[in-house]
Amino acid sequence: MNRFALPAALIAAAALSACSHDSNGFPGGDPKRTVDATDYTVTRTVTATEYSVPNQLLFSTDSAEVLPTGHKILAEIADVAKHTGTAPIEIDGFTDTVGPKRYNKKLSVARAESVASELTSQGVDAGRIKAQGFGETELAVPTPDQTDEAKNRRVVVRIAAN
């Protein structure tokens, strides 16, 4: 599956629990609509629906174990995924620039895999999912090395359009 390139400018804030659903059943309705200040983003394009979730909503610092708040968010994403038939799902993990690059890469992979596991446990077919980590290579907010920037620590789930 090819990665769906979406500009960082499309990242807005929205919380699934506070989102309305549009006529296609996608949380968030208007893809550029900011719904809440929790920094959860839902963006729809012609090729995919993208869910960008900051790590603090999914994981504790330096951990790949999904938090209780993350279970709720991922259950909602899984519900949407289950209604998209066999559309491919891509899960990308990212980090900030604090710490060694090699460690950040491993952490981003572990977090993407944890999200994939959670979606699978919610009934999403594992064969549809590709989990990968990018470490600090695709920063949402460009920063110098060793900069603690929360917006760079995120997991993005993309569900391809049918």
In a domain, 141, yes or no: yes
Single out the residue of 41, 52, 119 nearest to residue 84, CA to CA.
119
Single out the residue of 111, 37, 103 nearest to residue 70, CA to CA.
111
In a domain, 6, yes or no: no
Domain range enclosing 152: 47-160
In a domain, 101, yes or no: yes
Residues of the chain predicted below pLDDT 50: 1-37
CA distance 68 to 58: 8
Q: In the chain, how many domains are there?
A: 1
Tens-place pLDDT, residues 105-129: 999 999 999 999 999 999 999 999 9
Is 112 within 8 Å of 3 (Cβ atoms)? no
In a domain, 120, yes or no: yes
In a domain, 9, yes or no: no
What pLDDT is recorded for position 106? 98
CATH of the domain at 80: 3.30.1330.60
